[in-house]
Amino acid sequence: MQERDNEVVIVGGGAGGAELAVRLARAGCALRLIDQAATHVWKPRLHELAAGAARGELGEIAYRDLAEQWGFVFEQAGLVDIDPAAKQVTLDNDSRRGYRALVLAVGGVTPDLGVTGVREHAVMLDRSPDADALYRRFTDALDRAAAAEPARAARVVIVGTGLTGVELAGYLASHRHVVAKPDGDQPQTLAIHLVEASDTFMPGIEDAPSRRGARTRLADLGVSIHTGCAVAEVGADHVTSENGERFDADVTVWAAGRIGSPLAARIDALAANDRQQWLVRDTLQSRDHDDIFALGDCSACPESDWPATAQVASQQAEHLAEQVMAYLDGGSPSAFVFRDKGLLMSFGDGGDLGLVRGPLGDDLRIHGQVSHAAYRGLERQHQWVLLGTRTTLEGVAGDVFAALRRR
């Protein structure tokens, strides 16, 4: 089945894809947004959903509501193949959609790194359904541990000290009451181990003071940190390192790195690297086809090493909103330039840490309420793009009242 063509088809409604869809629709572009999920959750807060935060607290947005508000078409489906010659994508609902310009924003996944048992016994945190599954694992583990003779703490092993692993550990450690059932007969507690293969804690973060601050914050929350500890095997109830160390585990969370989408390995029409990322030029156009663009974790430009963060995807969406329109009008897209605005980390009730980068390259370290406000401000900026000024201001007012209550 094939419906009328759209000027632009965007596959993937994450931080970058959703923002791009709204920006293009507001500019008058006829477009179709395609995503496997029905709703959008800002990915930097998925760890909170996994730890038991209510979906309403995370600003979950239905794609169909966005489509109705801004005047584009949303279709819940998955990408199967791309036919650049026919300018069509094939979806898993047996339909084909034509395009003048195609934007791939399908995100990435956590690699198992070939470690035995990861797929069978660990949980990854790549999408919203993963967060729901992880929360169920947490609560089940707490129930079993509390019912043991004698009662003990539920043992959680998180592999990887990227932002996902670090923020999840911090949120769990500071929100034990969220995961635990308050009406249980026995106290429910967590024992959290954070395991890193590298000798360096948070090796993907260049700023050493930020790494030290995060490590200190986690240690203060009672999280045990193990560096230089590459994992050899994940079992049903344990994790074993290559040096023979064993960690008993009721729940294992695998957060060891980031690669692109498996689609890149299955679709032959576009060149990809060995990390399952489509190769793009600095204009974010495919190396193979001018009318196909890719942004976020699913793309890579060998000449530019952009980090795999929501900050990059959001900036790329803002850039492409202008460049795709220019392409449709017969122009040549310009190169994308990433502007690093710093790093923000949230540890729930354990506090926030931040490094804000100024326009002249000067760094400002922030913490406490200032850092928390900055962290929330990033999400509000994202909501402003998607929902407009009024809804965002209502959310900001809620943040202010919540801050006043905490004082």
Separation of CA 53 from chain center: 16
pLDDT of residue 57: 55
pLDDT of residue 400: 40
Q: Which tokens is 396 given?
A: 């900001």
pLDDT mean for each 10 residues of the chain (407 residues) = 68 94 96 95 79 64 95 97 97 96 96 96 91 89 89 94 92 72 62 96 88 91 96 98 96 95 94 96 96 96 84 93 96 93 74 63 57 62 77 49 47
The structure tokens 């009406």 sit at 183
pLDDT of residue 2: 43
Give CA–CA dist 300/282, Å, rounded. 9
- pTM exceeding 0.75: yes
pLDDT of residue 303: 85
Per DSSP, what are the bridge partners of residue 99?
6
**Is 231:240 a contact under the CB 8 Å cutoff?**
yes
pLDDT of residue 101: 98
Separation of CA 101 from chain center: 25
Identify whether 150 is preceded by a cis peptide bond (ω within 30 of 0). yes
pLDDT of residue 365: 58
Domains and CATH numbers, the chain: 6-110+259-328 (3.50.50.60), 118-254 (3.50.50.60), 342-406 (no CATH)
pLDDT of residue 1: 39
pLDDT of residue 183: 53
